[in-house]
Structure 1
Amino acid sequence: MAVQFDLVVRNGTVLDGTGAPARAADVAVQDGRIAAVGRVDGAGREEIDAKGLAVTPGFVDIHTHYDGQATWDQRFVPSSGHGVTTVVMGNCGVGFAPCRPQDRDTLIKVMEGVEDIPELVMREGVPWNWQSFPDYLDALSQRRCDTDFATQVPHAPLRVFVMGRRGVDREPATTADMAAMATLVEEGLSAGALGFTTSRSLFHRTPDGALTPTITAAEEELAAIARGMRRAGKGVIQLLDDFQDATPEGSTEFAMLRRLVEISGRPLSFTLLDISLYPGRWKTLLEEVERANRDGLPIRGQVAARPVAILYGLELSFHPFSTCPSYRAIEGLPLEGKLARLRDPAMRARLLKEEPVYSNPNMLAFMRNVANMFVLGDPPNYTPPAAERLDARAAALGVTPMELAYDLLVSGDGRAILFHPGANYTDCSDANMASMLRHENTVMALGDGGAHYGLICDASYPTHALTYWTRDRKGERWPLAWTVHQLTDVPARTVGLGDRGRLAPGYKADINLIDLDRLRVAAPHPVHNLPGGGRRLEQKAEGYRATIVSGEVTYRDGAFTGALPGRLVRGAR
């Protein structure tokens, strides 16, 4: 056969991303695009035999926080190790642009508190070779990475850029402030931002406990920005909101979201979670989403594909005793030194009695809720039975859950990880999560890669989705073609990236070759490879035989090939 293509993947089982049934087919690639799918007679300069493998589009994660990591690292780890070939960052209203030099410390503090990125890492890693948002995009355009990446205009830096200290202190924006913010969002969208993002969550605080700049922004301010988006005629809106006012009858906060979509004419998505503290709220919000879409307002819920896994350990950012004064006195010791002190009966007795001191009451409540924690093993089980929960185990042993948590943390080599399902596992059931994920007006997302370096490692969710929901779950399992559709075409189109997410001629040649029988995710573990020696959680997978970005193989059997075809994606396409 004459060489006609750069790459041909032969004999695979193609799941094209549309939800269509799997079929035997070859996939030909030329100039970074899919050239043909079916029987391919022409040869490729490189050929890969995919017999026995699933061939899918590359996965698209529309909810990440790689805003800083994208400026210092060429690899979007851990996402790129789980078949992700496009990430969207700038979510939840936080990021690093626009930013004047005098405001860098403020944005660092916001990212440290909200996204658990150590201050030292940002000071060592972020080059700050920009001020305006278009400048930031220009800086990103020089980067060469293992994955494509796109970003959005975040509200917190925008507010600080326009209002200075008044923005940090959450003072009301003036008419001039609002006009300036709207203009800057228009400029960002014109330069290639995919959208605008904000946060209205009380969980989002700086390390000293202060609410982030956007939390109490008035609807008038958001409406001004929405009018700027209408003038631009492009972009999506993304936000995080606690919806504290939600009742079974509805939510006035959600009514505001409807008005923003009406004003802007742009699609909106928001974080949708089943949180046990707010029973039934997810259902109320999903009903609101249904009504909005019936009324012609494109609103989607972003839903995590597994319980949101908040991880605690002696080597991680937090654990149930990490905010107690006696622990603070030893937290700087090496692990072996900490273990020696913690195994002292007097220290144990003191910490079990001590009251914690921490500036974020919501986060403190989570880390002290040991009754609802589990031990995360290897391989990790993110949907463990209620009998394995610490309250049940403690009752069987005749101790308190806090005593059991302490003993587990100091057992063995001191590397035990406690797992708290922060959302999507009410009453140790995945039923509510399944209802949200299967809804036509939701999108699978919330990997959060690039953030929560020592607290959450949910960027591996594509691997979990393929293994748990289609293969390993007890009870109903989902069609593989539908699940691939949710990981590829649906998220891509949610943010306006119509050039990827499918295996069809003319689409980007972003491809995964997967051995579904061998596919598994390993337990997360800490590594110290961030700028300044900072720590992050790494989580690897087995079963990805190859990941391809723009026609170049970036990973083979989980090993990085050195190829860096990933580029900044500017604007919808």
Structure 2
Amino acid sequence: MYDLTITGGTVVDGTGADRFAADIAVKDGRIVEIRRRDATTDSTDLLANAADHIDATGRVVTPGFVDIHTHYDGQVSWDDLLEPSSMHGVTTVVSGNCGVGFAPVQPGREQWLIELMEGVEDIPGTALAEGITWNWRTFPEYLDAIERRTLAVDFGTQIAHGAVRGYAMGERGARNEEATEDDIAVMARIVQEAVEAGALGFSTSRTEAHRAIDGEPVPGTYAAEAELFGLGRAMAAGGRAVFEVSPQGTAGESPAEACMREMDWMTKLAAEIERPVSFTMIQTGGAPDLWRQQLERAGKALENGIEVYAQFAARPFGMLFGFPGYHAFTHRPTYRALAAEHDCDALLRRLADPAVRAAILAEDDLPPSPVPLFDGLFALIQHSADRIFGIGDPPDYEPTPDQTVAAVAARRGQDPLAAMYDLMLESEGTAMLMLPFFNYAEGNHDAIYDMMTHPAAVSGLSDGGAHCGLICDASYPTFMLTHWARDRHRGPKFSLEYVVKKQTLDTATLFGLSDRGVLSVGKKADINVIDMDALTLDVPRMAYDLPAGGRRLIQGAAGYDATVVSGVVTRRHGADTGARPGSLIRGVR
């Protein structure tokens, strides 16, 4: 008796090889048979001897997607589903990125870690404070706590530099004071112990844009090479793990100098410890071709057997905004007064009142707070009408210049801010606009296309669980299938086989997860059954479903007939089945 059979489908197995017709049988969480199908194939026995069955006729069958760049470090302690990632065919997530996490933690320092995560990743601190159950102190205890959870997807995590520094060095570590040899030795023991316990890697952030809610840079931002190499060696001593970096330089350097200096030490470290070093990579407007130099350097390292990989984002990297969240009018007195008096639905109704609209558009802004962080976004938005686009329905992530707010305003004979206000009023005040900061310097996706073709580039940066008020890029897996394998019309696209491989075998391989990422006999039965004709991305919407009523942007999808984790169907036609076969992943010692 099989636990599950999937018949009638077209298999895209994750290796990049051509698709083929086949039926699949699953037993005890593993694929036990893949029967290639032709006109004479008889699968009657698969139907007769299965506890559960999926008819995949006319559907594509793929491995479950492996998302290696998420921030579910806190959410995993209260949310079994780990949405929105699980809504998009993701069956494995890797958390603990960008140098922020919740273990280890000294008693009494929990709120500091919350504020660090809130500032860097825009996760409501009130939600984290209410949702997290702090039943750990050390990193191994954190893993043990997660292992006791029942989840819809598999969860792996890295140990974060910020938490390690705060734990080992106290306030000196939190304020980025230089680590002594003794400090490095203490941190190294913590990191090695974490990897030995099952951490998939170590992460650090060196970008000054990553700051705590009080404006302080993430601990480790200015770490010297002695500290970085000491922790890299400790990670390697613990087992097979990945050293993840959000790179940048120091003040006074040009972008090219900073990036190449970072590439130098990352390559040197990868060669010495013989472990992969993975760094985040985006195209910036100020240096639109710098990413090519980074990839060229990573490619040369890879040719020499040194594993240096760039994590790229599959679409423009920026922010979404509208009245349910950040926008250009948050500091107008009338808006402030109405927002304080009304719930979301009532506020949207009032904003549609012509008199209210006129008052808000006529007012001056109140000053931002002394520690701006997200509080200053209103000013940035107000001066970016020539770079802001309506997201549309269905969402369009490769818009043309005639779709900017400034262009719409010119056609309507309006002031750009008035046009922006009216665009946000659409869909009963829930419409979202998009301001791409990165990966859109030429106004198209050609740079991303080139990133996707490079052997040293892996799909990442979805930030699932993070940037709750600004981004909902946990939908990358669906976007990869729809945009890059089916719908793109402004340039070349890829085969479905290639796109599936980029987010299954390639991402799993980086973290040494050799039991998944492909559909073959003996592999873990993490599987998606997808109606490619019906596959669509929903319009992003603001939800208020985090603990303490915290908000987050959610983007769902249609077209996933089923998602399977360890041989158990966790979602059917987009709905949660209630099954929780997911578990903690511990890395290779």
TM-score, scaled to structure 2: 0.92
1:401 CA displacement: 2.9
Partner amino acid, structure 1, of 2:4: L
Partner amino acid, structure 2, of 1:553: V
Partner amino acid, structure 1, of 2:350: A
1:429-456 CA distance string (max 9 Å, x none): 1101100111111111211111111211
Partner amino acid, structure 1, of 2:286: L
Equivalent position to 2:474, from 453, 456, 459: 459
Would you say 1:142 and 2:157 are equivalent positions? no
Aligned-pair Cα RMSD in Å: 2.1
Equivalent position to 2:400, from 385, 404, 424: 385
The answer on whether the counterparts of 2:333 and 2:360 sit within 8 Å (CA) in structure 1 is no
1:51 CA displacement: 1.1
Would you say 1:227 and 2:233 are equivalent positions? yes
Cα distance in 2 between the residues matched to 1:349 and 1:339: 19
Would you say 1:484 and 2:500 are equivalent positions? yes
Equivalent position to 1:61, from 67, 75, 91: 67
The answer on whether the counterparts of 2:387 and 2:405 sit within 8 Å (CA) in structure 1 is yes
The answer on whether the counterparts of 2:195 and 2:238 sit within 8 Å (CA) in structure 1 is yes
Cα distance in 1 between the residues matched to 2:335 and 2:296: 45
The answer on whether the counterparts of 2:332 and 2:360 sit within 8 Å (CA) in structure 1 is no
1:331-359 CA distance string (max 9 Å, x none): 434233476378253332224x6665563
Provide structure 1 residue ranges, at least 5 long, that are not aligned to the other structure: none
1:372-419 CA distance string (max 9 Å, x none): 111122211111111001122223334443343234335663222111
Partner amino acid, structure 2, of 1:322: T
Q: Say if 1:299 and 1:325 are closer, same or farther in 2 by CA, change over 3 A.
A: farther
TM-score, scaled to structure 1: 0.94
Q: 167-176 or 58-67: which moved more?
A: 167-176
State the percentage of identical aligned residues.
Answer: 45
Equivalent position to 1:46, from 48, 52, 60: 52
Cα distance in 1 between the residues matched to 2:78 and 2:349: 34
Would you say 1:468 and 2:483 are equivalent positions? yes
1:146 CA displacement: 0.7
Q: 505-514 or 231-240: which moved more?
A: 231-240
Equivalent position to 2:188, from 175, 182, 201: 182
1:153 CA displacement: 0.4
Would you say 1:413 and 2:422 are equivalent positions? no
1:44 CA displacement: 1.9
1:305 CA displacement: 1.4
1:501 CA displacement: 0.3
Q: Say if 1:404 and 1:542 are closer, same or farther in 2 by CA, change over 3 A.
A: same
Cα distance in 2 between the residues matched to 1:303 and 1:10: 35
Q: 50-59 or 39-48: which moved more?
A: 39-48
The 5 Å alignment of 1:532-551 reads: 532-551=548-567
Partner amino acid, structure 1, of 2:132: V
Cα distance in 2 between the residues matched to 1:409 and 1:372: 16
Equivalent position to 1:295, from 304, 316, 329: 304
1:519 CA displacement: 0.6
Provide structure 2 residue ranges, at least 5 long, that are not aligned to the other structure: 37-42
1:16 is matched with 13
The 5 Å alignment of 1:350-429 reads: 350-351=363-364, 356-357=368-369, 359-360=371-372, 364=377, 367-368=381-382, 369-410=384-425, 413-429=428-444
1:567 is matched with 583
Cα distance in 1 between the residues matched to 2:274 and 2:4: 41
Cα distance in 2 between the residues matched to 1:324 and 1:175: 51
1:420-475 CA distance string (max 9 Å, x none): 12222223211011001111111112111111112110011111111111111114
1:277 is matched with 286
1:111 CA displacement: 0.8
Cα distance in 1 between the residues matched to 2:505 and 2:582: 19
2:40 is matched with none
Cα distance in 2 between the residues matched to 1:402 and 1:253: 40
The answer on whether the counterparts of 1:230 and 1:263 sit within 8 Å (CA) in structure 2 is no
Q: How many residues align?
A: 568
Q: 277-286 or 334-343: which moved more?
A: 334-343
Would you say 1:257 and 2:266 are equivalent positions? yes
Cα distance in 2 between the residues matched to 1:250 and 1:175: 27
1:502 is matched with 518
